[in-house]
Amino acid sequence: MGPGGAQLHNGTLRKAVRTLRVKLVFLGSSGVGKSTLAQRFSKDEFRSTSPTVGCELMILGAVIEYHA
């Protein structure tokens, strides 16, 4: 194994890829911007929204490079 978790394969250095699944839950009083924050994070957009009743699900796929 090389630096930073990279693997040596046939004399070449490859990055080791690891997938993590993370769930975020936003809790708080009504009207404070939980849905807006989640929308900004997941879709990189900001829209004025009507109040959310119940719950809302948003999914985001992201690639995060880790350098040790």
Domain presence at residue 53? yes
**Domain annotation covers residue 12:** no
pLDDT at 4: 54
Q: Does residue 45 fall inside a structural domain?
A: yes
The whole-angstrom separation of Cα 48 and Cα 39 is: 10
pLDDT value, residue 12 = 64
Confidence at residue 28, expressed as pLDDT on a 0 to 100 scale: 85
48 domain residue, yes or no: yes
The whole-number pLDDT of residue 34 equals: 85
Domain count along the chain:
1
CA distance 61 to 64: 10
Per-residue pLDDT of the chain (68 residues), as tens digits, is 545 555 555 666 666 677 778 888 888 888 888 888 888 888 888 877 777 777 777 777 777 777 76
pLDDT at 62: 76
Q: Which domain holds residue 28?
A: 20-63
The answer to whether 6 and 13 are in contact (CB under 8 A) is: yes
